[in-house]
Amino acid sequence: MPTFDDPLSDASETSAALRGLAHATRAFANPADTYPVIGDLLAGVRSLRQVLDQVAAAHIAPRARAHDDAGNQHAGATFALAAAHELHQAGTLLDDVGARLDAASQHSGRIAWHPTNPTELSNESLQSAVSGEGSGVRWISVVFLQGSDADAVLDLIDREGTDAAIEHLAGFDYGDDPVQAALENGYVYDQPPAGQLDKIATRDVYTLTYNPFLGHVSLLREHGALPDPALLGITTPASTVTAVREPERVAHRSGRSATPAVGRERGGGEWFTRRPGATSARGLAR
């Protein structure tokens, strides 16, 4: 147990704990355990950053007492300042380590780990999970963007706000497609997944999460709830108008092509059609 006032004892215990962690993490029985481990490592790195600064300070303040083995005080003080400098440099490098761990934690937190044997989850259990039976509202992922695609949406948020971004990203919502992707890939959540630095906005049945620092954007929809037709730019039921073709685009991070929203059947009948030539309620300037 930490003493909180004995540096020698606590440093020794920390070293032993890290040796134990190095041994224990050679294999994970449950890969989902990696997420809390990353969180603890991040907390440890932040504490270590503080320790390095404090150890450096302990070299600087009493440097008048520092001597080398020959009794030279000037040389001893020089060594003390050099040690403090290197400790500060190490702390600066840990800032980058902490940022990388924070990013890793957020990515890891978005993973829905499936059992090793796919047969352990039956179709019935998957349908129950996505429908949220017995556990309230469930959320399905409509689209996840990162890199330059996310940057374009982040620019839209800066210019016009989150409502405009939600309207644009709603253009990726092709009815049953996100549900099927959720069933196939496990993108079903009890709560919209969001990291510590993520920002959240809601409109109608959609929840937008975005992170300008890490450069990713995600749109989720309440499962079983249809969005406001005006939000999707729907003017007339598809059964009463001529279907208009739209360019296909990637609808999900899985990389599969999305079926165009118009002219597509849903449960034996067409769901909706957009205004001719429209991809969303608002266009996205690039």
pLDDT digits (tens, 9 = 90+) for 199-230: 899 888 889 999 888 788 988 888 777 777 66
CA distance 233 to 48: 53
What is the number of other CB atoms lying within 10 angstroms of the CB of residue 224?
13
| Mean pLDDT to the nearest integer, 112-125 | 57
Rounded distance between C-alpha atoms, residue 159 and residue 157, angstroms? 5
What is the per-residue pLDDT for 132?
44
pLDDT at 74: 94
Of the listed ranges 44-58, 123-137, 188-202, the one predicted with least confidence: 123-137
Return the domain boundaries, the chain: 7-108, 126-270
> How many CA atoms does the CB half-sphere of 182 hold within 13 Å?
29
In this predicted structure, the answer to whether residue 263 has a pLDDT above a threshold of 70 is no
State pLDDT tens for residues 48-75: 999 999 999 999 999 999 999 999 999 9
pTM for this model (two decimals): 0.42
- Cα–Cα separations (whole angstroms), residue 114 to 97, 120, 188, 253, 265: 29, 9, 12, 17, 30
pLDDT digits over 150-183, tens only?
A: 899 999 999 999 999 998 988 887 766 666 766 6
- Low-confidence winner among 3-12, 39-48, 185-194 (lowest mean pLDDT): 185-194
Q: Is the pLDDT of residue 259 over 80?
A: no
